[in-house]
Amino acid sequence: MEQNQKLLKVVGIYLCYFLYSKLAAFFAQTITLMNGKAMYLIFDIFFLGFICFLYFKNLKKDFQTLKEKYNWKKILKIIFFYIGGTLLISILLSFIRELFFPDVIMDANTQSIQDLAKISPIYAIFKAMIFGGVAEEILYRESLSEIVENNVLFILISSILYTILPFVFNAGNITIMELLAYFLPSLWISYLYVKNERNILVVMIMKFVYNLIPLAILVSDLLK
């Protein structure tokens, strides 16, 4: 019974995520009194608060574990390990791109962040650093963790969902390169999540530090 309730909870959250994304797009296009990105920001903040509220006990438990079992040296070691693996994945993706997809300049995720930063640097920071690092990690990792106990199965399912769902909200052709650009980094993050006792705060810290420097450089260049 408890497992069924958790499953319904996860399904409900993904349904809410889908509906809120569609509603945000609808209101951003129909309401002309506000900037479209401001409307997206409002909806993103509501969903961020909603999902943090639902998983507040999990976050509180992970925070307690973080204080008890992790010191700064261990956290830094994990961050460097994550960055090293991510850079290796980037090199692999670049090699695949040059070999099989020479016309592709960059992955869709990077392009979208750069385009967003040109329009609204503040929203780009929020989307990459806060929403992407908190709401999306709870959605794709913490929520699924409650219903998928097998580590290998969890890593695969979370990475597949993380890869597929962004394209549900974006019309257009999907290339193998774009799928790999989402799938391989997600495999790496999900692996580290499992390796660190499924502590979502560890993953949030890793992503925050990794995204901080390049995003700061990008925004500073745009503000010049």
The structural domain count of the chain equals 1
What value does the mean pLDDT of the chain take? 84
Whether 147 is in a domain gets the answer yes
Q: Contact 88/220 with Cβ under 8 angstroms? A: no
pLDDT tens for each residue of 32-64: 555 667 788 889 999 999 999 999 999 999 999
Whether 191 is in a domain gets the answer yes
Name the H helices within the chain.
Answer: 2-30, 36-54, 56-69, 72-100, 108-119, 121-125, 136-137, 143-145, 151-168, 176-195, 200-223
State mean pLDDT over 67-96.
92
Whether 207 is in a domain gets the answer yes
Whether 35 is in a domain gets the answer no
0.75 exceeded by pTM? yes
Whether 136 is in a domain gets the answer yes
pLDDT tens for each residue of 195-214: 999 999 999 999 998 888 76
Whether 37 is in a domain gets the answer no
Confidence of residue 99 (pLDDT cuts 50, 70, 90): confident
State mean pLDDT over 7-24.
90
What is residue 198's predicted lDDT score, i.e. its pLDDT? Answer: 96
Whether 210 is in a domain gets the answer yes
Whether 188 is in a domain gets the answer yes
What is residue 119's predicted lDDT score, i.e. its pLDDT? Answer: 61
Does the pLDDT value for residue 106 go beyond 60? no
Enclosing domain of residue 158: 56-223
